């Protein structure tokens, strides 16, 4: 098999999606941690447009954008499918993949600038809306907004199902995996609680189901390392907004 390499970053939910997909498919790969404060020449070469992780390199050819990488993985290694067969069900799964992406952006808004790094002259400094990057009253508002997003998942996304697609884990679950694996640490770093123990029972149940999957469990990062990282990110954002 041709060599598979993944350029990722500890706190990137987009990189995590790809790691989970590769693990669920049992694909061997080399993982390269990128320093997002000091990007490698390899990253700049392989993703010259956005200069961001994740990038999957398969047989020397790079693929960027996590949703695009997920489709590539599914097409290249079709065993243990992560999309259903039925075209309409596939469309529903892809709808939630997109929503997973947008909803994360709304929590951690600064990511949008990374997404648009090539358009660096756009400054959002006065408009950090995510709970992760705000303080005071603005953060209270942002926290309320994230709860609205979680409410949509609870009502329209999950229903009575074990996973977003039904009985088996699929692409939509991976897109929301950040809620299961990163949100709690983000909350702690930001000093707020979004997903309270007694709220969103279906989502709570889904988090349990998601984290019980062996491929997910074995790829969880060390909590303390993650917390240190998120605290540093938050400090960086909050001080840029203030300056």
C-beta closer to a copy of itself: residue 30 or 148: 148
Which range in 119-127, 184-192, 213-221, 230-238 contacts a copy of itself by CB under 8 A?
A: 119-127
The correct pick among 28, 37, 79, 119 for binding a copy of itself (CB under 8 A) is: 119
- Residues within window 131-190 making contact with a copy of itself, judged by CB under 8 A: 141, 144-145, 148-149, 152, 156
Q: In the structure encoding, which two tokens stand for residue 145, read together?
A: 């907004």
**Nearest C-alpha neighbor of 151 from the set 187, 195, 108:** 195
Question: d(Cα 50, Cα 127) in Å, to the nearest integer?
Answer: 21
- Give the ranges where 108-222 is alpha helix by DSSP (H): 111-115, 136-152, 171-175, 177-181, 183-190, 201-212, 214-217
- 169 in Cβ contact with 163 (< 8 Å): yes
Angle at the Cα of 55 from the Cα atoms of 51 and 58, rounded to 5 degrees: 140
Q: CA 6 to CA 241: how far, in whole Å? A: 32
Q: How many positions of this chain bind a copy of itself (CB under 8 A)? A: 42
Give strand pairing partners of 4: 58
Q: Does 87 bind a copy of itself (CB under 8 A)?
A: yes
Q: How far apart are CA 187 and CA 199, in angstroms?
A: 15
Rule CB under 8 A: say whether 1 interacts with a copy of itself.
no
> Considering only residues 5, 23, 39, 90, which one is a binding residue for a copy of itself as defined by CB under 8 A?
90
Q: Is 115 in the site for a copy of itself (CB under 8 A)?
A: yes
Torsion angle in degrees (nearest 10) through CA of 203, 209, 211, 215 = -140
Among 88, 137, 197, 242, binds a copy of itself (CB under 8 A): 88
Task: Determine if 58 is a binding residue for a copy of itself (CB under 8 A).
Answer: yes
- Does 71 interact with a copy of itself (rule: CB under 8 A)? yes
User: What does the binding site for a copy of itself look like in residue numbers (CB under 8 A)?
Assistant: 48-49, 58, 61, 63-65, 67-69, 71-72, 75-76, 87-88, 90-92, 94-95, 98-99, 102, 106, 115-116, 118-119, 121-122, 124, 126-127, 129, 141, 144-145, 148-149, 152, 156
């Amino acid at each position: 098999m041709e060599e598979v390499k993944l350029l990722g970053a500890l706190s990137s939910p987009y990189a995590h999606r790809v790691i989970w997909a590769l693990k669920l498919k049992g694909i061997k790969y080399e993982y390269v941690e990128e320093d997002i404060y000091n990007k490698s020449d390899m990253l700049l070469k392989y993703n010259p447009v956005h200069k961001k992780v994740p990038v999957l390199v398969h047989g020397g050819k790079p693929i960027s954008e996590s949703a695009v990488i997920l489709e590539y993985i599914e097409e290249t290694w079709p065993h243990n499918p992560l999309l259903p067969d039925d075209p309409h069900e596939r469309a529903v799964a892809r709808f939630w993949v997109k929503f997973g992406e947008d909803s994360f952006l709304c929590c951690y808004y600064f990511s949008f600038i990374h997404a648009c790094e090539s358009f660096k002259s756009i400054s959002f400094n006065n408009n950090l809306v995510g709970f992760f990057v705000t303080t005071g009253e603005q953060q209270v508002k942002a926290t309320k907004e994230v709860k609205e997003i979680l409410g949509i998942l609870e009502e329209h996304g999950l229903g009575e199902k074990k996973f977003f697609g039904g009985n088996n884990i699929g692409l939509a679950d991976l897109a929301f995996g950040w809620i299961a694996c990163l949100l709690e640490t983000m909350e702690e770093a930001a000093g707020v609680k979004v997903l309270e123990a007694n709220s969103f029972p279906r989502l709570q149940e889904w988090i349990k189901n998601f984290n019980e999957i062996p491929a997910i469990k074995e790829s969880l990062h060390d909590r303390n390392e993650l917390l240190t990282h998120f605290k540093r990110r938050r400090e960086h954002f909050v001080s840029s907004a203030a300056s």
